[in-house]
């Protein structure tokens, strides 16, 4: 699998507010969120930083060159100094040169460290994909929430209008002594209840719009109108196939797998701490001002250095054990999260399936409550039923209409949760 950083525009600070030119589609909302949301920008920069760690680790393969210039002024004729038996460097001189160090081999330690850094880069790329998936999920959840609240508001407004008409009719009948003042009082209560339902629906709509604006990376969106969504068909009954798909493509699971691979590769590198390190060292330069006993105005030297660790108080052994324990712990973390993914897919499927079956039931319930209300209204108009019976029929109808209005968007929301659970958002 490649380890290239996912490119894209880095998210900027959320805008204080915005006004969209027209109705907002779901696809437009998702694209705006992926451009604006700061979490996407943070994940992108984190992935880019991980790419630099790979370059830092690989730098051990290349030579290191350092340019030095030294000037010294000393008492002539001296060769002794405190802290050293002899110091032939105690002489007047001016020199300039280059020191070169090149690693020849560390028996694979740098290779393993580079592989570990690449795996962590791939993990950060998967994290970026997961953050994008989370943003899409939040946008869809909020988008459907706005549509659902608008549908409920329409039902509440229609119920209020019907009850206001009923109140006017009963008031007129009461003035003609055909209905009692008790019926008028009940009708007023019904109107007040409908007004409260409208206020609650309006409040829920504003909350849903605020949630959508936040998901899109804005603090506020003025005059937000949305395009309704088509109702998808039934889901695939193959739950095991969906679980297999999730285990293969869930970015948060892949991120943990890449982190686990990096941990094992780092453990391999730590095993090689006790191996020798072989390097080449070279130096060359000029000495325009030097002691008169020196015959040359320049210098050159090269050599091979072999460093063999002997004893460091058990430090390398402890580091190897620590890396091995962390790698084994990462194995267990991957297994645990795989179980969670399997559970999440099953839960999301059953909830979505229940929401789909609820569509038909709520539709039938609306038809039944409409029939019941017509019968209750006829009985009330004929004087065979009371206002309480009519009120109960109206409440049942409104409740059924609200359930039916919400059922579609609840199914869309549950399908979104299932798509996220199986890793469909990339």
In a domain, 400, yes or no: yes
Number of domains in the chain: 1
Range of the domain at 49: 18-62+114-273+314-421
For residues 258 and 119, is the Cβ–Cβ distance under 8 A?
yes
The rounded distance, in Å, linking the Cα atoms of 147 and 374 is 29
In a domain, 358, yes or no: yes
SS3 190: helix
Q: Quick check: is 91 in a domain?
A: no
As given in the structure block, the two tokens for residue 356 are: 């789909």
CA distance linking residue 153 with residue 199, whole number of Å: 9
* pLDDT tens-digit profile, the chain (426 residues): 344 444 444 444 545 567 777 788 999 999 999 998 999 999 999 999 999 999 999 999 999 999 988 887 776 666 666 665 555 566 777 889 999 999 999 999 999 999 999 999 999 999 999 999 999 999 999 999 999 999 889 888 888 888 888 788 778 877 777 677 777 887 888 888 889 989 998 999 999 999 999 999 888 888 888 898 888 888 888 999 999 999 999 999 999 999 999 999 999 999 999 999 999 999 999 988 776 666 778 889 999 999 999 999 999 999 999 999 999 999 999 999 999 999 999 999 999 999 999 888 988 888 888 888 788 878 877 777 777 777 778 778 788 888 888 899 999 999 999 999 999 998
Residue 106 lies in a domain: no
Place of tokens 């094992």: 264
What is the per-residue pLDDT for 77? 63
In a domain, 289, yes or no: no
Residue 356 falls inside a structural domain? yes
- Report yes or no on 269 lying in a domain: yes
Helices (H), 216-250: 239-249
Tell me how far apart the alpha carbons of residues 347 and 353 are, in angstroms, rounded to a whole number. Answer: 10
Q: Report whether 194 contacts 155 (CB < 8 A).
A: no
Question: Is position 296 within any domain?
Answer: no
Q: What's the CATH number where 326 sits?
A: 1.20.1600.10
Distances (CA, A) of 335 to 112, 302, 308, 328: 24, 52, 39, 11
Helix axes 109-175, 38-58, angle to 10 degrees: 180
* Structure token digits, residue 357: 């079956």
User: What is the side-by-side strand order in the sheet with 277-289?
Assistant: 64-72, 93-105, 277-289, 298-307
Structure tokens that stand for 391 in this block: 């009120």
Cα–Cα–Cα angle for 51, 52, 53, rounded to 5 degrees: 90
Give me the residues paired with residue 286 across strands.
Answer: 96, 298
Q: What is the pTM of this model?
A: 0.83
Q: What are phi and psi of 185, to 5 degrees?
A: -65, -45
- Of 56, 179, 70, 36, the closest CA to residue 117 belongs to 56
What Å distances lie between residue 281 and 12, 104, 303, 411, 416, CA to CA? 48, 10, 5, 69, 61
């Amino acid at each position: 699998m490649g380890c290239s950083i996912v490119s894209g525009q880095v998210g900027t600070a959320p805008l204080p507010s915005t006004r969209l030119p027209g109705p907002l589609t779901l696809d437009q909302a998702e694209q705006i969120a992926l451009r604006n949301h700061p979490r996407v920008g943070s994940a992108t920069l984190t992935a880019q930083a991980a790419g630099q760690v790979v370059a830092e680790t690989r730098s051990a393969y290349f030579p290191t060159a350092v340019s030095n210039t030294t000037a010294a002024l000393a008492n002539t004729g001296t060769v002794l100094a405190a802290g050293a038996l002899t110091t032939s460097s105690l002489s007047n001189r001016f020199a300039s040169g280059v020191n070169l160090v090149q690693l020849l081999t560390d028996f694979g330690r740098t290779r393993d460290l580079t592989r570990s850094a690449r795996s962590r880069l791939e993990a950060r790329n998967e994290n970026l994909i997961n953050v994008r998936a989370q943003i899409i999920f939040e946008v869809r959840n909020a988008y459907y929430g706005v549509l659902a609240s608008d549908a409920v508001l329409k039902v509440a407004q229609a119920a209020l209008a019907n009850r206001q008409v009923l109140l006017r009719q009963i008031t007129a009948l009461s003035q003609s002594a055909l209905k009692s003042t008790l019926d008028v009082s009940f009708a007023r209560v019904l109107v007040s209840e409908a007004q409260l339902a409208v206020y609650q629906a309006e409040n829920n709509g504003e909350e849903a719009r605020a949630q959508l604006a936040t998901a899109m990376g804005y603090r506020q969106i003025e005059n937000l109108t949305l395009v309704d969504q088509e109702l998808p068909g039934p889901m695939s009954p193959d739950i095991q196939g969906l679980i297999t798909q999730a285990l293969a493509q869930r970015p948060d699971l892949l991120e943990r797998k890449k982190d686990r691979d990096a941990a094992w590769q780092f453990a391999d590198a730590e095993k090689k701490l006790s191996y020798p390190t072989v390097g080449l060292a070279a130096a060359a330069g000029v000495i325009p001002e030097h002691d008169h006993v020196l015959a040359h105005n320049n210098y050159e030297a090269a050599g091979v250095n072999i460093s063999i660790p002997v004893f460091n108080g058990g430090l390398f052994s402890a580091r190897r054990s620590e890396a091995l324990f962390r790698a084994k712990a990462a194995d267990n973390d991957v297994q645990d999260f795989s179980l969670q993914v399997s559970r999440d897919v099953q839960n999301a499927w059953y909830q979505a399936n229940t929401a789909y079956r609820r569509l038909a039931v709520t539709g039938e319930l609306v038809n039944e409550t409409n029939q019941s209300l017509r019968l209750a209204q006829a009985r009330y108009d004929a004087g065979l039923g009371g206002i309480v019976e009519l009120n109960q029929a109206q409440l049942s109808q409104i409740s059924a209409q609200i359930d039916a209005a919400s059922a579609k968007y609840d199914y869309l929301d549950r399908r979104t949760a299932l798509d996220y659970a199986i890793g469909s958002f990339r």
